[in-house]
Structures are given as C-alpha cells and as structure tokens.
C-alpha cells in the first residue's frame, strides 16, 4: 500500500482552532492534535504531522510571527511533501503574502486556511476548509495559496472581502488558480512541482506604514509617518490620485520623503484595477515627485512586499526596481511592462 504524502500542519490559532466547551463557551483546542482529530478525514489522505506555534488572534500577528512561520517551513522543508497552516481569517492575506515573498521557488504547496465559524458549531465551514486544504497540500500545486470555501487563491492575490459569507476571500485582479466542487480543478497558470530549489529570503523591515488618502488628509500626519518609518504606502483615489496642490497637497511631502531615502508607494483604494498615475495631473505630479506606483497589487501584498524589499536594500533606485518587478505573480505581466 503506497504511503500517504507527508504533510506538516502548522497551527497558529484562529476561529478554526476553537470549539464549544461543556458550558457552551468557545475555547481553543488544547493542541493541534485535537484539531486534526476533530477532522479525521484528513488522515485518510495524508500522513499528518504537527507543529504548534503560539496560538493568537490573527489581529495580534506581527511580522516577527511571519518570520517564525517561514523558518519552520524552511527548516523542515525537506521532511514533508506539503504544508497546511491554520490561521485566523482577519490577517491571513498578509501572512500569505509574506510567506510567498520569503519562500520563493517552491516545489511543494504551502496552504493557508481557516474558518468563519468554529468547528463543532452548527453550520461551521471549518471541516470543509480543512479537508480541502489538505487535498491541495497533497496536490501537484507548488505555490503559497489560500484555500477557503470553493476557491484556491494565489497568496499574493487574496483579500478577505466578507465578514459574513462563507466565501470570505476573493482573488483580486486575476481569477483564482483553482476551484473545489465535486472535484478539484487547478489552473494551468498555477506553478507545479518541477524540482525547483527553495529560495529562502527571511528579510523584513517592519517599520512600514499604510495610509488611506481621504478628503482633508493633513500633510503633517503623513510627514510624521514618513519621519517615523522606513517606507510608506499611500492608498490613493481611483488610479492612484492623491492631493498634490494647495495647503493640503502631498506632492512636497512625497518629494521630501524621497530626498530623505524613504520610499513612498502609491496604490489605489479601489478593489479592482491598477494604478495609472500618468493619467491625471494629480497623479503625475506625485509620480514626478518620486512616488512609486503599486500597479495592480493588493494593499496587503504591497505593504508586505515593501517590508521584504527594504529588508534587503535601502537604495531607492533598487527599491523602485524591485517593487515594479513581479516575483510571485503579484503584478500582472502587462502592468509590469506598462508602469516601467
């Protein structure tokens, strides 16, 4: 009888790791073993091993924790055929992006999943998501992905778009790379196991800020953020437009940040689409002041990518070049060329 694929389950907490106690209150499982035991189907498709990290609400997950997860995978990479990470949904997209940038040239799947409703509660999506995550972890896919509901989503393209629906995550600016229904279908666009050697780059500069522009935003606030951080992401309006003129214009703030060696990345608050900062004067003026467009990256991927890039270099020309290069599918090829 052939052996099942060896899968390492990394438990980090989240709703999926909670169950109803005798008094009816919700409490975490005592161990990752208990979580897997609550979904026995996974042991029919995989030889499951466990690694438990400190279980915390995903709202309390910081870049240091991303590094901890990445190091577990890198250190035990050759022991297993795939990895499943159970994680809270609120910041799962950030973690997926961080792992994708730090763990490149993967030759096996790294799958994140969670649930909207805890296991053991009527209507829970936890069992389905957990089983499907292990199915993908034993597949030929070789990327960091989020498996949730019926979707298999590239990690750097995922966003949580609903606090209510079971299909809580969506693939932004590209179709999901797979779907799970009666059977599992993985797109030809997904990377496969082909013998690549892991490229592990555990470098993150956590002093990066994310700001959304809004009518009346005080430039002094942005200046303060620039002075206290190594990099800044500003989500502008539409195609990447931010106020550029008058007493509340940000053009000179961007120019000053650039002169001080602090990169300013400008994205869009729109869920879909790309920056096109040369389209309107307000965007063009900020671009000429030194802003770097985020192209069609999600805010989560943009923030984490800037942390990863600044962990390797502070030289602005190289920062710009790296931010505009697609490493793990975070930028569509057509946009990558256009924004250069």
pLDDT digits 0-9 by tens, 185-198: 999 999 999 999 99
Mean pLDDT value across residues 214-239: 96
If one looks up domain 6-200 in CATH, what number appears? 3.40.50.1170
pLDDT at 187: 95
CB 180, CB 137: distance < 8 Å: no
Distance CA 98, CA 271 (A): 20
CATH architecture of 208-339: 3-Layer(aba) Sandwich (3.40)
- The predicted model scores a pTM of 0.94
Distance CA 72, CA 89 (A): 20
Extract long-range pairs of 303-307: CB within 8 Å, 24+ residues apart: 303/94, 303/208, 303/210, 303/233, 304/66, 304/94, 304/97, 304/98, 304/101, 305/97, 305/101, 305/330, 306/208, 306/231, 306/233, 306/263, 306/265, 307/63, 307/98, 307/204, 307/205, 307/206, 307/208, 307/231
What is the residue whose two structure tokens read 């550029």?
244
Mean pLDDT value across residues 314-340: 86
Q: What is the pLDDT of residues 263-293, one digit of tens each?
A: 999 999 999 999 998 888 888 899 999 999 9
Q: Residue ranges of the domains in the chain?
A: 6-200, 208-339
Instruction: Give yes or no for residue 161 having a pLDDT over 50.
Output: yes
Distances in Å between the alpha carbon of 339 and those of 32, 34, 54, 214, 236? 45, 49, 41, 24, 16
pLDDT at 29: 73
Domains 6-200 and 208-339 share a fold: yes
313: Cα separation from own chain's centroid: 21
Q: What is the pLDDT of residues 296-313, one digit of tens each?
A: 999 999 999 999 999 999
Q: State the catalytic residues.
A: 15, 89-90, 160
Mean pLDDT value across residues 175-203: 95
Q: Sheet of 292-293: strands edge to edge?
A: 208-212, 231-236, 264-268, 292-293
Distance CA 90, CA 92 (A): 6
Q: Which two structure tokens, joined as six digits, stand for 202?
A: 């555990």
Instruction: Give yes or no for residue 294 having a pLDDT over 70.
Output: yes
Closest CA to 120 of 203, 40, 236, 21: 21
**Rg, Å, the chain Cα set:** 21
CB 113, CB 133: distance < 8 Å: yes
């Amino acid at each position: 009888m052939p052996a099942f694929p060896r899968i390492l389950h990394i438990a980090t907490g989240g709703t999926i790791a909670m169950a109803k106690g005798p008094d009816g209150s919700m409490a975490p499982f005592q161990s990752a073993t208990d979580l897997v035991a609550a979904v026995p189907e996974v042991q029919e498709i995989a030889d499951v091993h466990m690694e438990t990290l400190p279980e915390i609400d995903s709202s309390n997950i910081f870049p240091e924790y991303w590094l901890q997860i990445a190091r577990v995978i890198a250190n035990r990479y050759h022991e297993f055929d795939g990895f499943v990470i159970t994680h809270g949904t609120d910041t799962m997209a950030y973690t997926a992006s961080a792992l994708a940038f730090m763990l490149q040239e993967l030759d096996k799947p790294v799958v994140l999943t969670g649930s909207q409703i805890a296991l053991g509660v009527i209507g829970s999506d936890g069992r389905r998501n957990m089983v499907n995550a292990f199915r993908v972890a034993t597949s030929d896919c070789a990327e960091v992905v989020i498996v949730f509901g019926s979707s298999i989503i590239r990690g750097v393209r995922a966003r949580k778009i609903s606090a209510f629906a079971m299909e809580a995550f969506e693939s932004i600016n590209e179709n999901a790379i797979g779907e799970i229904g009666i059977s599992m279908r993985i797109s030809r666009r997904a990377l496969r196991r082909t013998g690549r050697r892991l490229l592990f780059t555990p470098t993150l500069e956590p002093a990066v800020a994310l700001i959304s522009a809004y009518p009346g935003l005080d430039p002094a606030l942005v200046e303060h953020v620039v002075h206290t951080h190594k990099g800044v992401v500003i989500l502008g309006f539409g195609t990447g437009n931010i106020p550029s003129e008058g007493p509340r214009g940000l053009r000179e703030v961007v120019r000053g940040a650039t002169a001080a060696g602090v990169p300013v990345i400008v994205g869009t608050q729109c869920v879909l689409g790309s920056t096109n900062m040369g389209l309107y004067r307000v965007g063009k003026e900020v671009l000429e002041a030194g802003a770097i467009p985020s192209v069609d990256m999600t805010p989560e991927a943009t923030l984490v990518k800037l942390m990863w890039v600044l962990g390797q270099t502070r030289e602005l020309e190289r920062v710009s070049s790296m931010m505009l290069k697609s490493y793990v599918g975070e930028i569509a090829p057509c946009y990558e060329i256009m924004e250069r």
